């Protein structure tokens, strides 16, 4: 995984538009925020292997980047994406990392279900 090249990601998104896809979407603060100096409660959400069929998909912004996927009956939106990889299983992995390398957000698309 390395820094997002928006042109390459746009091509990878378009290659998947109009197909039946499985999506992993996640944001996370980590579970230990209450122990941190600001004592904030954790805020975490993930959806794994949601079936979607996007009809349009774009990456925007100067970086960190945003991705929007237009669905027949709704939207997928992710902001704060910094890094990407196309895995050996041809999964498009988009992620945001903070300055320390911690994952903050992930948006992943694959024609095959993600593991489990």
Partner 1 sequence: MNRVELVTKPIDHLTEGLDEFVPANERHLLVVLPHPDDESFAAGGTMARCADANVPVTFLCGTYGDMGRRMGSPFFATRESMRDVRVSELREACRVLGATPRWLGLRDRTVEFEDPHDVAARIRDHLDELSPSTVITFFPGHAVHPDHDALGHATHLAVRTWAGGRPNLLAVAVGDRADIRAKLGPPHVYCDVRSVVERKLGALAAHRSQTEMMFQRWERGDEDDEQTRTFREEMLVLERYYRLPLD
- Pick the closer one to partner 1 by CB: 37 or 72: 37
| x-marked contacts with partner 1 along 30-59 as a string, rule CB under 8 A | xxx-xxxx------x-x-------------
Which of these, 71, 67, 64, 70, lies nearest to 25 by C-alpha position?
67
SS3 assignment, position 68: strand
Which of these, 22, 9, 10, 14, lies nearest to 111 by C-alpha position?
22
CA dihedral 107, 29, 73, 18 (to 10 degrees): 0
| x-marked contacts with partner 1 along 63-102 as a string, rule CB under 8 A | --------------------x-x-x-x-x-x-x-x--xxx
Residues at the site binding partner 1, with contacts judged by CB under 8 A:
1, 24, 26, 28, 30-32, 34-37, 44, 46, 83, 85, 87, 89, 91, 93, 95, 97, 100-104, 106, 108, 114-116
């Amino acid at each position: 995984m390395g820094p997002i090249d928006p042109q390459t990601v746009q091509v990878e998104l378009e290659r998947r538009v109009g197909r039946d896809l499985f999506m992993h979407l996640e944001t996370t603060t980590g579970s230990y925020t209450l122990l941190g100096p600001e004592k904030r409660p954790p805020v975490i959400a993930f959806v794994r292997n949601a079936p979607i069929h996007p009809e349009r998909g774009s990456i925007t912004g100067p970086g960190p980047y945003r991705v929007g996927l237009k669905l027949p009956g709704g939207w997928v939106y992710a902001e704060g994406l910094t890094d990407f990889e196309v895995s050996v299983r041809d999964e498009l992995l988009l992620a945001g990392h903070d300055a320390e390398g911690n994952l903050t957000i992930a948006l992943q698309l694959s024609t095959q279900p993600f593991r489990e």
